[in-house]
Amino acid sequence: MAEWADSKTWLNRLVFIALAFVLIVIDLAPLDTRPSLWAAPDVLLAATLAWVARKPSYVPVFIIAMIMLLTDFLFLRPPGLWAALVVVLSETIRRQHREFRNMPFLVEWGTIAFGIVAITVINRIVLAVVMAPEAPLAPTLVEMVATILVYPLVLVAAHFIFGVSRMSPGEVGSKGQVL
Amino acid sequence: MARDKNSEDFIGPIRRLLVGLLVLALVGLFLVWRIDSPRVERLRAATIDAVVPSFSWAMAPITGAANLVSDFQSYQQLRAQNQDLRRELQQMRAWREAALQLEQENAKLLDLNNVSLDPKLTVVTGVVITDSGSPFRQSVLVNVGARDGILDGWPTMDAIGLVGRIAGVGQNSSRVMLLTDTSSRIPVTIQPSGQRAILAGDNSLNPPLEFLEDATLVRPGDRVVSSGDGGVFPADLLVGQVALGTDNRLRVRLAADYQRLEFLRVLRSQPHERIGDPGNLLTPEAEFFGPAAVNPAALSASGFGDG
């Protein structure tokens, strides 16, 4: 993918990395150290999937892997597993992003929701199989549902703030290359 | 569509291979973590140590904004707060008198007993940099680490009560696992009755007490302090008060202010010297007089006592 990138794409990659950095910092800020009863949505995951579904060239798989591995380390998750699952899911969506262009939004949302549910379930199954300590079930489900619900909002933000929207048919890069 | 597919044909297989290798590497890291967890956890501590302190400039505006909002809220409730504080102040005056008298009495008694408090219990104070960032783990990162001589397992307090223990030390930072984390287990004593129990974190603000011998001797309001059991913690660090949860379990209302942990004191707790065999303290190992090579099994079998 990197061979086709022009300066605009590179700029947008940096914007995505900066966005991920801000989301991570907001998660890490020690505002309230009491345990919460419910879990906030995983906005970083929703943003990653939204970017892959809309402008896959802005989020190369290498960047996704690095960011997710970093959050695995920072958020005390088993390192590597969640990153691998997100990479696989993002690759699946990347392969379908041309079909998304012609589909109603609900189908896209359904596909994304199915993907999020699938990686959450696989994550739990793998952790159970290797007998690693698992997160409690209820907040995990709350986080999963919240992430699915927040996806359209992330899309709206991506469209109006970051200018990341569906490619129109026949759209090419600044040097006429295929995106 | 057709053109897209054609153009992908060059790069498709190589890309797929690279992505496959990437996923394999990530899964491999996970497996290595599962097999040899301490090594990867050290890698995690080193990563956090390298990355997080450089985040502090980015975190300043967020914490600043949060402070602004909370300050604004407290301005709104100024009048009510003022009344509350006055009422509390009156109560506290009474307590202060009692405390002064008790302090004098305590000093006298300690003098009489010639007690020396543990001189090794000194503290290192650190500032909380970040929390765990995940709703499932309860821990914070403080800005003191191996550089300051912090060791795994040392207890950590805020100004009043126990907060948690050190779990994971980097060069410049270390992680404090809070008492509310699901993997936190602390041996405690419940004060007037002297009952021993385990304070088991369960991701809620008030962790339950487990393995209580006789729950009828414990009532809400009793003081909970750490017990020195198992050499985990020094004894008599204040943990909190017993409270009866809505699920009818005995829980602990923690004395530390978990709403906003800012400065934490890490206690340098040295392990106590263990006395394994008290008999040897009085007399050295008894020399053996008598016929050599007596089989101890035969001795105990013939009822000769414990040899």
Torsion over CA: A62, A68, A74, A78 (sign):
negative
pLDDT in tens, B207-254: 999 998 888 888 888 899 988 777 778 888 889 999 998 888 899 999
Higher per-residue confidence, A147 vs B273:
A147
Q: What is the DSSP letter of B66?
A: H
Q: According to the model, what pLDDT value does residue A2 have?
A: 46
What rounded mean pLDDT belongs to chain B?
81
DSSP string, B175-234: EEEETTSTT-EEEEEETTTTEEEEEE--SSSSPBEES-S-GGG--TT-EEEE--GGGSS-
Exposed/middle/buried for residue B191 (C-beta within 10 Å: 0-12, 13-18, 19+) = middle
ipTM: 0.86
Tens digits of per-residue pLDDT, A73-94?
998 889 999 999 999 999 999 9
B30·A87 Cβ contact <8 A:
no
pLDDT tens digits for range B145-201:
999 889 888 999 887 889 999 998 999 999 999 999 988 999 999 988 888 999 999
Contact A60, B11 (CB under 8 A): no
Share of chain B above pLDDT 70, in %: 81
Residue B5 pLDDT: 47
Specify the range with the lowest mean pLDDT, choosing from A168-177, B97-106, B132-141.
Answer: A168-177
pLDDT in tens, B266-292: 988 776 666 666 666 666 565 656 555
Confidence of residue A5 (pLDDT cuts 50, 70, 90): low
Could you tell me if A74 lies within 8 Å of chain B, comparing CB atoms?
yes
Chain B hits for A28, Cβ within 8 Å: 52, 55, 59, 130-131, 133
pLDDT score recorded for residue B97: 85
Q: Which amino acid is at B1?
A: M
Residue B65 Cα, gap to closest chain A Cα (Å) = 10
pTM check: above 0.90? no
Task: Say yes or no to pLDDT of A147 above 80.
Answer: yes
User: Residue B284 burial by CB count (10 A; 0-12/13-18/19+): exposed, middle or buried?
Assistant: exposed
pLDDT for A120: 94
List b or e across B233-246, with b for residues whose CB sees 16 or more CB atoms inside 10 angstroms.
bbeebbbbbbbeee
Residue A105 has what pLDDT? 87
pLDDT exceeds 60 at position B2 = no
Chain A neighbors of B173, CB-CB under 8 A: none
Based on the number of CB atoms within 10 Å of its own CB, is A45 exposed (0-12), middle (13-18) or buried (19 or more)?
buried
The answer, for A95 touching chain B at a CB cutoff of 8 Å, is no
Name residues whose C-beta falls within 8 Å of residue A87's C-beta, 6 or more positions apart in sequence: A61, A64, A65, A68, B19, B22, B23, B26
B296 and chain A: CB distance < 8 Å anywhere? no
**Chain A residues touching residue B180 (CB < 8 angstroms):** 34-35
**Is residue B51 over pLDDT 90?**
no
Q: Judge whether B28 and B20 are in contact, CB under 8 Å.
A: no
Say what the pLDDT of residue B303 is.
47
> B258–A3: do the CB atoms touch at under 8 Å?
no
Give the closest-approach CA distance of B297 to chain A in angstroms.
43
Instruction: Provide the shortest C-alpha distance from residue A163 to chain B (in Å).
Output: 24
Give the pLDDT band (50/70/90) at residue A126: very high
Instruction: Name the residue with higher pLDDT: A30 or B203.
Output: B203
State the best of B26, B34, B48, B183 to mutate against chain A, taking most chain A CBs within 10 Å. B26
The vertex-B125 CA angle with B123 and B128, nearest 5°, equals 140
Neighbours of B104 (CB within 10 A): 10
Three-class SS state of A46:
helix
Choose, out of A76, A91, A126, A142, the residue to mutate when testing the contact with B (most B CBs < 10 Å).
Answer: A76
- pLDDT for position B306: 44
To the nearest whole angstrom, how far is the Cα of B258 from the nearest Cα of chain A? 5
Per-residue pLDDT tens over the stretch A161-173: 888 877 666 666 6
* Residue-level pLDDT at B140: 92
Q: Cβ of B180 and A34 within 8 Å?
A: yes
